[in-house]
Amino acid sequence: MQVIQWYPGHMAKAKREIIEKIKQVDLVIELRDARIPRASSNPMIKEIVGNKPRLILLCKSSIADPNVTASWITHFKKENILALDIDSITGYHMKNVSSYANEALKEVFEARLKKGIKSKTIKAIILGIPNVGKSTFINTIAKRKATIVGDRPGVTKNQTWIKVNEDLFFLDTPGILWPKFEDQITGLHLAMCGSIKDEILDLENIVLESIRYLSNIYPEKLISRYNVIITTPEDIVNQIGKNRGFLLKGGVVDLERTHRMFLNELRGMKIGAVSYERPEDELI
């Protein structure tokens, strides 16, 4: 398996800037990918935010398995962690974000009242891995194009304050990973979901591992989308290429084209809603 790692210089810079700005905020809103709540959790965030109130938002819930996402919400509740599953594209649960933010800051507001401060202004920093959907989330909440949006990791380069309404301000930050993944399953899951630049990846390996997983957990989705017989990952790739007509001279399957098409469809929900991690999984 390819050793996957991606920590360019701008991420190290972003981390330093976040540490500098963290004292200015009341709340940390951590965005995670609903398909990979563990892999999309940056272990540096705990170190950076300290005891700041935190709200976890599981983004892109429409392309995650709803039953698995429900299990994650239950898991967080048992751990006394405030979490909400949302989807910035469909608007799912977006109207609940403000009330959850207020809940996260309940003790802060009570402390303000004791000091005679009635203000419920919230300054929140938005943290998350690359391509988790921070900019889309902010634009949806603000109901305007407040940030640059892209479907690739590394679009946001700077930190910017954004006024959502009279009482809510967001500090947008670039997506950051961490210097070394604890295990390669984490890197694989991040790559499968598009949080690492494809240019540094062995796409064949990512596709084969994705198909291996889907064959075991969601075989019906592969069969329905690609009309394949579940065999080995390598054979399934060849079946997909043939069925799509991705052939070179001599009837040989164009593997590169097949790999890219499959990854695009996997990430674009063409295959259906899937999750790659469950709370009970032993691998972290």
pLDDT tens profile 93-108: 999 999 999 999 999 9
pLDDT band at 183 (very low <50, low <70, confident <90, very high): confident
Residue 234 pLDDT > 70: yes
* Claim: this prediction has a pTM higher than 0.85: yes
Rounded distance between C-alpha atoms, residue 182 and residue 9, angstroms: 20
pLDDT band at 6 (very low <50, low <70, confident <90, very high): low
CB 204 within 8 A of CB 2: no
**52 token code pair:** 């700041």
What percent of the chain shows pLDDT beyond 70?
A: 89
Beta bridge partners, 168, equal 122, 165
| Cα distance between the two ends of the chain | 17
